Amino acid sequence: DSGVTQTPKHLITATGQRVTLRCSPRSGDLSVYWYQQSLDQGLQFLIQYYNGEERAKGNILERFSAQQFPDLHSELNLSSLELGDSALYFCASSVSPPNEQFFGPGTRLTVL
Amino acid sequence: QKEVEQDPGPLSVPEGAIVSLNCTYSNSAFQYFMWYRQYSRKGPELLMYTYSSGNKEDGRFTAQVDKSSKYISLFIRDSQPSDSATYLCAMSQGAQKLVFGQGTRLTINP
C-alpha cells in the first residue's frame, strides 16, 4: 500500500457525461500528479500540482481539468466524455519534485 | 521517435534465473531514473530510484544507469514467480514530469 488513495475504483458512464476522480496523497506529500494509462499509449502524464498550485501540464485535453484543494487532495474532472477516454487514471504523490512518486491504485473509467 | 524506448516483451524465464530489463532514451537532460513494477490492473509500485549514473542495489534488485550510452538496466536475481509483472522504466529532468517506457511484461515460470 503506497498510502495514496483514489476513488472510485471503477466508473462506468456514457459518452457526453462528466465525471470526477478523487485522489488523496500520502501524508506529508505536497505534490500530486495525474496520469492516464491506456493500452496503446502507455502511462501519459496529464498534470501536476504542488501545494495547491498548478506546476506542469502534459497531454491533458481541454475537456479535462484538475485542482488541488487546501487539504491537498486533488480532483480530476473529465467532461464531454468520449469512447477514447476509457482508460486507467492514476494519481501519484511526492514530497516535492523531483522526489520519488508513489502511485495510487487507480480509477478504471469505462465510457460506453 | 519516443523519448524512452523499452522492449515490451513478453519475456519468460525459469524461476531462479537472473532477469535483465533495459531502457534507452534520447533526452540527455534526464537526471532521475526509476523502475516501477505493475501487477495487472494495479498501480505502479516504485522499485528503484537513482540519480545520475552508477549502480544501486536493493535486495535482489540492482539498477544501473549509463548516461554516456543513454541506457538504464534493472537486474533481478533469484527471480521468483511473484516477480511476474510488467516493469516500467521512468525518467525525468529535475522537477519535470516522469516519462515512462512502454513496459516489459515479465513471466517467471516455476
Query: What pLDDT, on a 0 to 100 scale, did the predictor assign at position A29?
Result: 94
Chain A residue closest to B31 (CA)? A98
The answer to whether B101 contacts A42, with C-beta atoms less than 8 Å apart, is yes
**Reported confidence tier of residue B31, pLDDT bands at 50, 70, 90:** very high
Least-confidence region, from B4-18, B35-49, B84-98: B84-98
Q: Which of B47, B50, B97 to mutate to test the interface with A (most CBs of A within 10 A)?
A: B97
Q: How far apart are CA A21 and CA B78, in angstroms?
A: 39
Closest CA to A37 of A112, A106, A111, A99: A106
Query: What pLDDT, on a 0 to 100 scale, did the predictor assign at position A69?
Result: 97
- The answer to whether A105 faces chain B, any CB pair under 8 Å, is yes
- Smallest CA–CA distance, residue A40 to chain B, in Å, is 9
A7 is written with which cell numbers?
476513488
* CA A111 remoteness from chain centre: 16
Query: What pLDDT, on a 0 to 100 scale, did the predictor assign at position A12?
Result: 97
Query: What pLDDT, on a 0 to 100 scale, did the predictor assign at position A96?
Result: 73
Residue B94 has pLDDT above 80, yes or no: no
- The strand pairing partners of B107, in sequence order, are B12
Query: What pLDDT, on a 0 to 100 scale, did the predictor assign at position B13?
Result: 96
Each residue's pLDDT expressed in tens, for chain A with a length of 112 residues? 889 999 999 999 999 999 999 999 999 999 999 999 997 778 999 999 999 999 999 989 999 999 999 999 999 999 999 999 999 999 999 987 777 899 999 999 999 9
* CA B79 remoteness from chain centre: 15
Higher pLDDT, A75 or B8: A75
Which residue pairs, CB below 8 angstroms and at least 24 apart, start in A45-50? A45/B97, A45/B98, A45/B99, A46/A76, A47/A76, A48/A97, A48/B97, A49/A74, A50/A96, A50/A97
- The answer to whether A26 faces chain B, any CB pair under 8 Å, is no
Element of type H or E holding B88: strand B85-92
Residues 6+ apart with CB under 8 A from B108: B13, B14, B15, B17, B19, B79, B80, B81, B82, B83, B84
The answer to whether B103 contacts A42, with C-beta atoms less than 8 Å apart, is yes
Query: What pLDDT, on a 0 to 100 scale, did the predictor assign at position A103?
Result: 96
**Average pLDDT, integer, range B13-36:** 95
Residues 6+ apart with CB under 8 A from A40: none
The total of other beta-carbon atoms located within 10 Å of residue A74's CB is 25
**Reported confidence tier of residue B51, pLDDT bands at 50, 70, 90:** confident
Q: How far apart are CA B79 and CA B17, in angstroms?
A: 6
Spatial contact of A14 and A112, defined as CB atoms under 8 Å apart: yes
Mapped onto helix, strand or coil, the DSSP state of residue B83 is helix
Tally A–B CB contacts below 8 A.
57
Closest CA to B102 of B28, B19, B25: B25
Spatial contact of B28 and B43, defined as CB atoms under 8 Å apart: no
